[in-house]
Amino acid sequence: MECCRNLEQIDIDPNKNKIVLVGNPNVGKSIFFNYLTDTYVSVSNYPGTTLDISSGNYKDNIVLDTPGVYGVSSFNDEEKVARDIILSADIVINVVDAVHLERDLFLTQQLIDMGKKVIVALNMMDEAKKRGLNIDIEKLEKELGIKVVPTVAPKKKGFSDLENHIDKAQKGQISLEQDMEKELNNINKSVGNRADSLLILEGDENVAALHNMEPKENREKVYMQRRNRVNDIVEEIITKEETNNSIGDKIGSLLLRPLTGIPILFLILYLLYQFIGVFVAQTLVGITEEMIMIEIYQPFIIDLVSRFIAPQSLIGKILIGEFGVLTMTVTYIFGLLLPLVAGFYFFLSLLEDSGYMPRIAALVDRGLTYLGLNGRAIIPMLLGFGCVTMATVTTRLLGSKREKIIAIFLLGLAIPCSAQLGVIAGLIAPLGFKYFVIYVITIFLVYAIAGTFLNKVLPGESTDLLIDLPPVRVPEIKNIFKKTYLKSKYFIVEAGPIFAGGAVGITLLKEGGILEWIQNVVAPFIVGWLKLPKETTEAFIMGIIRRDFGAAGLNSLALTNDQTLVALIVITLFVPCIAAMLVMIKEQGIKQAAMVWLGSWIAAFTVGGIVALFI
């Protein structure tokens, strides 16, 4: 019973000691993991990025990283995973944020109460010093009864000291008062494991079930005893000096005030447009798509394949035809979409690692309450501009089911992903400012009306925004490039097969005459209502597979300025891609996912038709 609830999912040598990294969200655990194992894990400034379990070797030990948690319990999936790994740990390295000791020491004390051998890495000591917090490390060690090593993770300060003391991790001072300690000992008589017994005492149903016991109802009592103990410790060990605000604090304050924060936000969005829409979508893609893929790669691959397969055969058309897997798909993915996606993730990583994202959340909080959301929803919304699939997963951050429904619907309806956004920016920029403004206003209105409508019809109201504001800091460029690389790689792996499958499907539809039949059937609608050429149907069919695929399909059509605008509005509001739909089904169930899908069809073609009528 000592170990292994979820751990069988990871390939771990059972003979090795398990060193487990534990800490609250956003305390820098991943940097310690990278240092000890020399393996990269994503590092971000907003809570909740280390969602997977990472493991690696350190000397003769296994090091396991855990999702950030506030305590050991079973309130959600991340906590359950963290709990099981912690229960299996031989040694716990508890990474603690020196700036938020009152918050973080609760987990430390709980680990000690579990009877685990713990060593504390007291991280962000530089930030604490900047804020005038003097922490008496010796007194803290004495109060907790364990070794505390001050560290500054980005500079690897204190890391070698931490390494020297890992083997000396020890059991510390228990916080439970006599009544609860007695109750714990009673449970332990039948369980035989202090850590499990404590969680049963705290009402953990899963751990109780493992021991065929009923969970006890002492959570609040134990938590209060622990909280009181932590507050006493913090009061004992911290003294605060008056400090002048640092440059980071001053910038952080400017970013939060509406008078300065909103113009800065618009400036950032403008820079994003210039970077993605102008530099990447036009200059860079001009080189990768036109010069490299169309002028060099395509003639080469067509010539190569033609030597073995007749171009006019079905296989030839599937491989190197108009929608060929080796021609169009490869060109779209590597020549067009990859530079756009990488460019977007580069910019987004800069915003994440500088600590700007939570400040945008605070800034837009009031506006988002009109849509039934709070400022926290800006995180999935901004991530949606990278990848709607990934953003749908992060709606878990939101406070209520109601907010998740609204956010997922808005993501599916009106947020174009980076690949799609890049193509859209590339197509709309040459049309001129007027078309750009009409496009932005239309999409914004649809977004606002849909959110306001859902806010009215769904019972309840938005929750209050309570979010940690990390310090404003200069991002580490190495980390930015690594994040961009990993996310771009994920895009290729995720989108590549779907693109290829979609391209084969379109070729087969075309060769079987079905594509033409569909075009003729929907022609009155496409031509009559949207005022677009019937060939646009091909792009829309491609858009069912992935919206960016559809948007890319518009690239090769000869459209007037008005037609381009209508087609772009329709494809922006179009149904979410297959991957995003699968995640929506997983998160919200098939009924709500189907409603989003149907709602997107209706919204896309209704709005597209209305715009076509008036321009």
Partner 1 sequence: MECTTDGKRICPTCNNEIKDPDLMKCPRCNSLLILKCSECKKCSFFKKN
Positions in the binding site for partner 1 (CB under 8 A) = 24, 70-71, 75-76, 100, 102-103, 106, 220, 223-224, 226-227, 399-402, 458-461, 463-464, 466
DSSP-assigned states of every residue in 53-106: -EEEEETTEEEEE----SSSS-SSHHHHHHHHHHHT-SEEEEEEEGGGHHHHHH
State which residue, 234 or 431, has the beta carbon closest to partner 1.
234
Distance CA 222, CA 215 (A): 14
Q: What's the rounded Cα separation, in Å, for the pair 206 and 210?
A: 6
Cβ closest to partner 1, residue 173 vs residue 463: 463
Residue 217, classed as helix, strand or coil, is: coil
Closest CB to partner 1 among residues 48, 496: 48
Whose Cβ is closer to partner 1: residue 220's or residue 303's?
220
Pick the closer one to partner 1 by CB: 107 or 276: 107
The closest alpha carbon to 387, from 548, 270, 596, belongs to 548
Cα atoms in the 13 Å half-sphere on the side-chain side of 592:
19
Is the CB of 226 or the CB of 483 nearer to partner 1? 226
Residue 378 to residue 372: CA distance in whole angstroms? 12
Compute the least distance from the CB of residue 463 to partner 1, in Å.
Answer: 4
Q: Least distance from C-beta 360 to partner 1, angstroms?
A: 19
- In the complex with partner 1, which residue's Cβ is closer, 47 or 471? 47
User: Minimum distance from CB of 69 to partner 1 (Å)?
Assistant: 8
**Do residues 469 and 362 touch, judged by C-beta distance below 8 A?**
yes
Instruction: State which residue, 464 or 476, has the beta carbon closest to partner 1.
Output: 464
User: What minimum distance in Å lies between the beta carbon of 119 and partner 1?
Assistant: 22
Interatomic CA distance for residues 61 and 83, integer angstroms: 20
Work out how close the CB of 424 gets to partner 1 at its nearest, in angstroms, rounded to a whole number.
35
Residue 207: strand pairing partners: none
Neighbours of 389 (CB within 10 A): 24
Triad 564, 566, 572: Cα angle to 5°: 95
Does residue 2 contact residue 39 with C-beta atoms inside 8 Å? no
Strand locations in 131-205 (E): 133-135, 148-150
- Residue 19 tokens read as 């060193």
Minimal distance, residue 460 CB to partner 1, in Å: 5
Name the minimum Å distance from CB 126 to partner 1: 22
Provide the residue count of the chain: 615
Residue 254 Cβ, how far from partner 1 at the closest point, in Å? 24
Dist. CA 304–CA 295, nearest whole Å: 15
